Chains A and B, each alone.
Chain A
Amino acid sequence: MDSFSLLLSGFADALTPANLMWCLVGVVLGTAVGVLPGLGSSMAVALLLPLTFLLEPTAAFIMFAGIYYGGQFGGATTSILLNTPGQSSSIATAFEGHTMARNGRASQALAAAAIGSFVGGIIATTVVAFFAQSMVAFALDFGPPEYFALAILAFASTAAVVTSSPTRGIAALGIGLAVSVVGIDSQTGAVRMTLGIPQLLDGISIVILTVGLLAVGEVLHSGFRPDGTAGGSVITSGTPWLGKTDLRRSWLPWLRGTLLGIPFGAIPAGGSEIPTFLSYGAEKTLARRRGHSQFGQGAIEGVAGPEAANNSTSATTMIPLLGLGLPISATAAVMLAAFQQYGIQPGPLLFQNDADLVWALLASMFLGSFFLLVINLPFAPLWAKLLRLPRRHLYAGLLVFATVGVYSAAESIFDVVLLYAVGALGLLMRRYGLPMAPVLIGAILGPLAEGKLRLAMAASQGDPTVLFDSNIAIGVYTVLVLIGAGFLAKAIRDGRRRDTAPQDGVLSHR
Chain B
Amino acid sequence: MTTAQPQKNELSEEESDSRVSRPSSDQAGSTLAIAFFAGVPAVLLLLGSMLMRVPEASGFLGPRFFPVAVGIFLMVTALIWTAWSLHRKRSHTRGSIPKTARDSTADNEVISESDNQVHSNWRTLAIMATTMVGHVVLLQPLGWLISGTLLFWGVSYALDHRRPFFDLCIAAAMAGTVQLAFSGLLDIALPAGILGKVL
Interface residues of A, count at CB 8 A: 98
Question: Given A193-B45, A433-B25, A171–B61 Cβ distance below 8 Å?
Answer: no
Chain B residues within an 8 Å CB radius of A47 = 186, 188
Interface-facing stretch out of A249-257, A339-347, A454-462: A454-462
| Shortest distance from the beta carbon of B193 to any chain A beta carbon, whole Å | 12
Q: Indicate if the CB atoms of B38 and A229 lie closer than 8 Å.
A: no
- Select the residue from B16, B70, B110, B162 with max chain A CB neighbours within 10 A: B70
Q: Indicate if the CB atoms of A224 and B110 lie closer than 8 Å.
A: yes
* A352 interface residue per 8 A CB criterion: no
From the candidates A177, A191, A434, A457, name the one contacting B60 in the complex (CB within 8 A): A457
* A437 interface residue per 8 A CB criterion: yes
Q: Indicate if the CB atoms of B66 and A223 lie closer than 8 Å.
A: no
Residue ID in chain B nearest A234 by CB atoms: B3
Residues of A424-483 at the interface with B, using a CB-CB cut-off of 8 Å, are 424, 427-437, 446, 450, 453-454, 457-458, 461-462
Residue ID in chain B nearest A220 by CB atoms: B128
Chain A residues within an 8 Å CB radius of B15 = 99, 164, 295-297
Question: Given A190-B54, A192-B48, A458-B61, A416–B14 Cβ distance below 8 Å?
Answer: no
Q: Indicate if the CB atoms of A458 and B155 lie closer than 8 Å.
A: no
Q: Indicate if the CB atoms of A407 and B190 lie closer than 8 Å.
A: yes
Question: Given A193-B45, A457-B61, A163–B14 Cβ distance below 8 Å?
Answer: yes
Q: Indicate if the CB atoms of A228 and B159 lie closer than 8 Å.
A: yes
Question: Given A164-B18, A191-B52, A223–B59 Cβ distance below 8 Å?
Answer: no
Q: Indicate if the CB atoms of A227 and B66 lie closer than 8 Å.
A: no
| Shortest distance from the beta carbon of A177 to any chain B beta carbon, whole Å | 4
From the candidates B1, B34, B67, name the one contacting A432 in the complex (CB within 8 A): B34
* B44 interface residue per 8 A CB criterion: yes
Indicate with 1 or 0, residue by residue over B38-70, a CB within 8 angstroms of chain A CB atoms.
Answer: 100110110011001111011111110111001
* A411 interface residue per 8 A CB criterion: yes
Chain B residues within an 8 Å CB radius of A226 = 6, 9, 109, 112-113, 117
Chain A residues within an 8 Å CB radius of B133 = 420
Q: Indicate if the CB atoms of B41 and A228 lie closer than 8 Å.
A: no
* A396 interface residue per 8 A CB criterion: yes
Indicate with 1 or 0, residue by residue over B83-106, a CB within 8 angstroms of chain A CB atoms.
Answer: 000000000000000000000001
| Shortest distance from the beta carbon of A10 to any chain B beta carbon, whole Å | 31
Chain A residues within an 8 Å CB radius of B190 = 404, 407-408
Chain B residues within an 8 Å CB radius of A432 = 30, 33-34, 37, 106-107
Q: Indicate if the CB atoms of B33 and A458 lie closer than 8 Å.
A: no
Question: Given A164-B18, A399-B151, A450-B66, A224–B107 Cβ distance below 8 Å?
Answer: yes
Chain A residues within an 8 Å CB radius of B21 = 433
Q: Indicate if the CB atoms of B74 and A403 lie closer than 8 Å.
A: no
Q: Give Cα A231–Cα B6 distance, bound, in whole angstroms.
A: 12
From the candidates B60, B65, B70, B124, name the one contacting A229 in the complex (CB within 8 A): B124
From the candidates A178, A185, A430, name the one contacting B41 in the complex (CB within 8 A): A178
Indicate with 1 or 0, residue by residue over A215-231, a CB within 8 angstroms of chain B CB atoms.
Answer: 00001101111111111
* A168 interface residue per 8 A CB criterion: yes
Q: Indicate if the CB atoms of B17 and A433 lie closer than 8 Å.
A: yes
| Shortest distance from the beta carbon of A433 to any chain B beta carbon, whole Å | 4
Q: Indicate if the CB atoms of B74 and A178 lie closer than 8 Å.
A: yes
Q: Indicate if the CB atoms of A229 and B34 lie closer than 8 Å.
A: no
| Shortest distance from the beta carbon of B4 to any chain A beta carbon, whole Å | 9
Task: Please report whether the interface of chain B is mostly helix, strand, loop or mixed according to DSSP.
Answer: helix
Indicate with 1 or 0, residue by residue over A490-510, a CB within 8 angstroms of chain B CB atoms.
Answer: 000000000000011111001
| Shortest distance from the beta carbon of A38 to any chain B beta carbon, whole Å | 12
Chain A residues within an 8 Å CB radius of B113 = 226
* A206 interface residue per 8 A CB criterion: no
* A181 interface residue per 8 A CB criterion: yes
Residue ID in chain B nearest A181 by CB atoms: B67
From the candidates B13, B16, B153, B162, name the one contacting A396 in the complex (CB within 8 A): B153
* A199 interface residue per 8 A CB criterion: no
Indicate with 1 or 0, residue by residue over A174-215, a CB within 8 angstroms of chain B CB atoms.
Answer: 110110010001011111110100000000000000000000
From the candidates B22, B37, B175, name the one contacting A434 in the complex (CB within 8 A): B37
From the candidates A189, A437, A454, name the one contacting B14 in the complex (CB within 8 A): A437
Q: Indicate if the CB atoms of A461 and B152 lie closer than 8 Å.
A: no
A sample of 17 more A-B contacts (CB under 8 A), given A103-B7, A193-B67, A420-B133, is A162-B14, A171-B77, A178-B70, A178-B74, A190-B54, A223-B128, A226-B117, A399-B151, A428-B33, A431-B33, A431-B106, A432-B106, A434-B37, A435-B13, A436-B13, A458-B59, A458-B61
30 contacts between A and B (CB under 8 A): A47-B188, A95-B14, A99-B12, A104-B3, A164-B18, A170-B77, A171-B38, A175-B74, A188-B54, A219-B155, A223-B125, A223-B158, A225-B109, A229-B159, A233-B2, A297-B11, A396-B156, A411-B189, A428-B33, A430-B107, A432-B30, A432-B37, A433-B17, A450-B66, A457-B60, A458-B60, A505-B22, A506-B25, A506-B26, A507-B22
Nearest 3 pairs of A and B residues by beta carbon: A296-B15, A231-B160, A231-B159
User: Which residues from chain B sit less than 8 Å from chain A, CB to CB?
Assistant: 1-3, 5-7, 9-19, 21-23, 25-26, 30, 33-34, 37-38, 41-42, 44-45, 48-49, 52-55, 57-63, 65-67, 70-71, 73-74, 77-78, 80-81, 106-110, 112-113, 117, 120-121, 124-125, 128-129, 132-133, 135-136, 139-140, 144, 148, 151-160, 162, 167, 170-171, 174-175, 178, 182, 186, 188-190
User: Which residues from chain A sit less than 8 Å from chain B, CB to CB?
Assistant: 33, 47, 94-96, 98-99, 102-104, 162-165, 167-168, 170-171, 174-175, 177-178, 181, 185, 187-193, 195, 219-220, 222-236, 295-297, 390-393, 395-397, 399-401, 403-404, 407-408, 411, 413, 416-417, 420, 423-424, 427-437, 446, 450, 453-454, 457-458, 461-462, 503-507, 510
